[in-house]
């Protein structure tokens, strides 16, 4: 790619969460355990569900997909940050930045879609329990996940191709710990109007659309639960949604908080720190949320670890 000053851009600088040298060991010591807990925690969920035939149901099939996406999500950003801290370098190559941006965009949208599919699964389970296994058949489950992957792939590919057409000049410092799409676009010295339009349009379409679907599903779920005559029945029905509802609240709450805060303050550094919540903390907490409140997962984990 040839930028406006006719020099080939070969690298960007990731400014990270802090530029203070004395804080780098602290950041490394904090993020390495968080990353390892995220990977091994989600991997345990996948292995426990896969090894227990009683958990080969649509709900746990989607949970395995969510765990896989969370592993990939954090692996896209955190390892590079840890390497840069260890090598005392902020450099990321142009190709590496585009690749990181592509996969980050892919997995954050895919995370969003999987959470939406899981809310639909809970809606069918509670509102149409007698037809649950007929509606949520293996073919539909596989199709829902496949469509989620395809839409995420196309969205990420579109953004990446549009960024490849941009020209970059001398300011190559990204005020973030990874190559976030919006931050990279803001560094371009060529016209980014179309890029910005597509970013906000697709955020509304691929972010707002699934979120509206989740809200609709839970409005129907609440309506059905209120119609259950016994208190025990209400509790049992609601308990099947608590874990998913907790993850949805954590993911959307932190993501919306990041973008609303950055839009209000225009402070990229504050946005980078806040984004840690949904890029690192939420994927790390997911295995705990699903295992601590779920007896089936607990039993499966005990059997798997007992082997």
| The CATH number fitting domain 11-306, selected from 3.40.50.720, 1.20.1070.10, 1.25.40.340, 1.10.10.60 | 1.20.1070.10
Q: Of all residues in the chain, what percent carry a pLDDT higher than 70? A: 92
Q: Which candidate, 231, 217, 232, places its Cα nearest to that of 128?
A: 217
pTM: 0.90
- Max intra-chain CA distance, the chain: 73
Could you tell me if 140 and 121 are in contact, meaning their C-beta atoms sit under 8 angstroms apart?
A: no
Average pLDDT over residues 158-172: 90
Could you tell me if 214 and 115 are in contact, meaning their C-beta atoms sit under 8 angstroms apart?
A: yes
Strands 173-174 vs 11-14: parallel, antiparallel or unpaired: parallel
Q: Quick one: how far is CA 149 from the chain centroid?
A: 13
Spatial separation of the C-alpha atoms in residues 178 and 272, rounded to whole Å: 9
Tens of pLDDT along 261-271? 655 555 666 67
Please report the pLDDT score of residue 24 as a whole number.
92
Q: Which helix (H) or strand (E) holds 193?
A: helix 193-203
pLDDT value at 304 more than 90 = no
Spatial separation of the C-alpha atoms in residues 228 and 237, rounded to whole Å: 9
Paired tokens of 90: 């902020």
Angle at alpha carbon of residue 275, lines to 201 and 167, rounded to 5°: 55
Q: Where are the domains of the chain?
A: 11-306
């Amino acid at each position: 790619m040839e930028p406006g000053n006719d020099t080939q851009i070969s690298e960007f600088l990731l400014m990270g969460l802090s530029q203070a040298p004395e804080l780098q060991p602290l950041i490394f010591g904090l993020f390495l355990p968080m990353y390892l807990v995220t990977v091994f925690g989600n991997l345990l969920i996948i292995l426990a569900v896969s090894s227990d035939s009683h958990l080969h149901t649509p709900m746990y099939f989607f949970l395995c997909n969510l765990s896989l996406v969370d592993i990939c999500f954090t692996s896209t950003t955190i390892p590079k940050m840890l390497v840069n801290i260890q090598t005392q370098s902020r450099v990321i190559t142009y190709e590496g930045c585009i690749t990181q941006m592509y996969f980050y965009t892919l997995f954050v949208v895919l995370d969003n879609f999987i959470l939406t599919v899981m809310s639909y699964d809970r809606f069918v389970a509670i509102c149409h329990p007698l037809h649950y296994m007929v509606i949520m058949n293996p073919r539909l489950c596989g199709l829902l996940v496949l469509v989620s992957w395809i839409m995420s792939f196309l969205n990420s590919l579109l953004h990446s191709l549009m960024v490849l057409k941009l020209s970059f000049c001398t300011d190559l410092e990204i005020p973030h710990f990874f190559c976030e799409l919006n931050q990279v676009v803001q560094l371009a010295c060529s016209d980014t109007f179309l890029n910005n339009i597509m970013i906000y349009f697709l955020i509304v379409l691929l972010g707002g659309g699934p979120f509206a679907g989740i809200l609709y599903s839970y409005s129907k779920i609440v309506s059905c639960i209120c119609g259950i005559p016994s208190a025990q029945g209400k509790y049992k029905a609601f308990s099947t949604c608590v874990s998913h509802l907790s993850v949805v609240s954590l993911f959307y709450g932190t993501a919306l908080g990041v973008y609303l805060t950055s839009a209000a303050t225009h402070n990229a550094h504050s946005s980078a720190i806040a984004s840690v919540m949904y890029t690192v903390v939420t994927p790390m907490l997911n295995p705990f949320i699903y295992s601590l409140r779920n007896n089936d997962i607990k039993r499966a984990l005990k059997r798997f670890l007992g082997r």
